[in-house]
Structure 1
Amino acid sequence: MQYFDAAQTADRLDYPVLIPALRSGMAAEASVPPRQHYSLDPDGEATLLVMPAWNREFLGVKLVDVFPGNARHGLPALSSVYVLADGTTGQHLALVDGGELTRRRTVATAALGTSLLAPEDARVHLIVGTGHIGGAVYDAYRAVRPGIATTLVADPHNPAGAEALAERLTRRGADAVAVAVEDLPSAVGRADIVTTATLAREPVLRDEWITPGTHLDLIGSFRPEMHEVEPSLLGRATVFVDNDVARTEAGEIATALARRVLTEGDIAATLPELCARPAPRPRTDGEITVFKTVGTGLTDLIAAVTVFAGRDPA
């Protein structure tokens, strides 16, 4: 069995490789049981998350340990690993760093949504959120929309983070001009594509800011109490999700459904349904599209297989 650390995992998950792999893998037959949560202490703080998935060739499971109390000991609160096995024999093939795998498959999934839904002539991209996930967005989107000329970077909770990310992109010679912005309503109005990657519990984007023709990728929220946009926006947008779990786990979707701003039938398609189409779905004039991703065990499996398939020869 081989082990791939964070650096090796990142090296094998180059976005021009990973995004097409996700598209083909999402369209194929697979089994993805619900994510399992196990409380490990009486207070319910320490948690084990188990995320399995399998197809005809491979099976795998991501194990995530969440120990919030680790901060008191100077240790990360979250640790994860992916175990990949042969789907025919069950023999273990690889252990893959779960943190880097999750980071890259998350932004690659959002970029895949953009490749299938966003305007092909998009020129201005706004990234909202500059943390562990937000910092990886630029490279993934560059792989699917190379015509983007301007990347706006905003972080309402950490303006210094926006300055730092824009500076890093500029310093390394990014193809798109990177600019940190503080006037978020104005930046949203300029953008053809908006990507949010925050842990906000209150919306960072207002419905009234979103102009006709905009495409939004919402990456951050993965719990019902988390919201990156006002639920009312979903009532005037065409909404897509990475998988049906988003209906209950994503705050924006769950709240919009509860308030009847959105109905179950209003969700236009899941990502596997989009990937199964021979060509990207055409946009209508002035249409606002929203792609909401909460993560799925299938994308973890595809990413882990991609890492293993690109392994160094023994």
Structure 2
Amino acid sequence: MRVFSAEDIDRSLDFPSLVDALSEAMRGGFIAPARHHHEIERAGEKPAIQLLMPAWTESASRAGLYLGAKIVNVFPGNSARDLPTVMGTYVLQSGRTGATLAALDGTRLTHWRTAAASALAARHLARADAERLLVVGAGALAPYLARAHASQRSYKAIAVWNRTHESARRVAEALQAQGLPAVAREDLESAVAEADVISCATLTTAPLIEGRWLKPGQHLDLVGAFTLAMREADDEALRRARIFVDTEAACTEGGDVAIGLASGAIARADVVATLPALCRGAKGRRSADEITLFKSIGAAIEDLAAAMLVWRKTGGADP
């Protein structure tokens, strides 16, 4: 069994290859059942949560025979131990024998596949002539989102906004060091007005993106807000956009779209298609002027496709 650290994954992957791998996986041959969610009681602190996200390739899949699962543990008590609250591992196995092939850093794999899924959606939904990208949020995912989106469009400017401007500045400087035209912005409304693509990855509980700010032709990518207590865009943004989701689960899980559906702000018919449907030929952007919106909550198919790509790029043979 091989072990891949976060640094190993960074050295192995690139976004053009990963976006293509996710596109191929979305077109068929991969199966992902509903993820398992288990609460674990721990005396003297909040309960821990374990998430299990399995996926496998079908017998006739052209991708080879693979089986995998991401194990994510959320231990709130770790904040008092100076440890990360969320830890994850991905286990890649042979879909032919069940033998374990590799264990991969689950957090870093998630950063790569989440950003690649957003870039894949933008491939179908953003205007071909998009030149200005805005990244909202300056957390660990922000630089991955910027690099992933930049792999699909030739952006002349990349803006980064965060409530704490110093954090946005640090992300922008890191992107500059990688050759990207990034700058930190202090005013969110004006940054939104100037952007062609807006990619949000925050944990906000109150909407940051107001629908009245949006202009014709923009694409809005919503990656954060992973619980029903969070949201990144308001109801007006949902109503003004043609809505796409990574999976059907985004209609009941996570913020934004699920909240809009539950409140009646939007109807189920307003959700046009999933990412797999887009990859199989469903109509994405219809005109240069329409506003498109993509909501991502994550999919086990993405994890498996990313782990398989790491395995292959480092010399691993198909089982």
Aligned with 2:246 (options 242, 252, 273)? 242
Identical positions, percent: 39
The offset of 1:44, in angstroms, is 4.8
Residues 106-125 of structure 1 mapped to structure 2, 5 A cutoff = 106-125=114-133
- 8 Å contact kept, 1:232–1:256: no
Distance 1:240 1:264, change over 3 A: same
Partner of 1:162 in structure 2?
A: 168
Distance 1:22 1:37 in 2: 24
Distance 2:245 2:78 in 1: 33
Distance 1:3 1:189, change over 3 A: same
- 8 Å contact kept, 2:53–2:71: yes
Partner of 2:61 in structure 1?
A: none
Report Cα offsets for 1:218-249 as digits up to 9, x if no partner. Answer: 01111111100002311121000000110011
Distance 1:11 1:107 in 2: 16
Residue 297 (structure 2) pairs with residue 294 (structure 1): yes
Partner of 2:62 in structure 1?
A: none
The offset of 1:301, in angstroms, is 0.7
Partner of 2:82 in structure 1?
A: 74
Report Cα offsets for 1:10-54 as digits up to 9, x if no partner. Answer: 222211111100000111132211111111115652111111111
The offset of 1:282, in angstroms, is 4.2
- Per mean C-alpha deviation after superposition, the further-off stretch among 106-115 and 8-17 is 8-17
Q: Which runs of 5+ in 1 are unaligned?
A: none
- 8 Å contact kept, 2:90–2:106: yes
Letter in 2 for 1:288: I
Partner of 1:86 in structure 2?
A: 94
Partner of 1:52 in structure 2?
A: 54
Residue 240 of structure 2 aligns to a residue whose secondary structure is coil
Residues 163-182 of structure 1 mapped to structure 2, 5 A cutoff = 163-174=169-180, 176=181, 178-182=182-186
Distance 1:73 1:250 in 2: 28
- 8 Å contact kept, 2:209–2:237: no
- 8 Å contact kept, 1:118–1:215: yes
Q: How many residues align?
A: 309
Aligned with 1:99 (options 91, 94, 107)? 107
Partner of 2:221 in structure 1?
A: 217
Aligned with 1:141 (options 119, 129, 149)? 149
Residue 107 of structure 2 aligns to a residue whose secondary structure is helix
Q: Which runs of 5+ in 2 are unaligned?
A: 59-64
Report Cα offsets for 1:100-145 as digits up to 9, x if no partner. Answer: 1001101111011111110010111111001011122221111111
Report Cα offsets for 1:42-76 as digits up to 9, x if no partner. Answer: 56521111111111211111001111111212111
Letter in 2 for 1:293: S
- 8 Å contact kept, 2:133–2:198: yes
Residue 192 (structure 2) pairs with residue 191 (structure 1): no
Report Cα offsets for 1:182-221 as digits up to 9, x if no partner. Answer: 1111110110000001011110111111111110110111
Distance 1:72 1:258 in 2: 36
The offset of 1:290, in angstroms, is 0.1
Task: Give TM-score, length-normalised by structure 1.
Answer: 0.94
Partner of 2:32 in structure 1?
A: 32
Distance 1:13 1:53 in 2: 20
Residue 309 (structure 2) pairs with residue 303 (structure 1): no
Aligned with 1:126 (options 134, 138, 161)? 134
Distance 2:126 2:316 in 1: 39
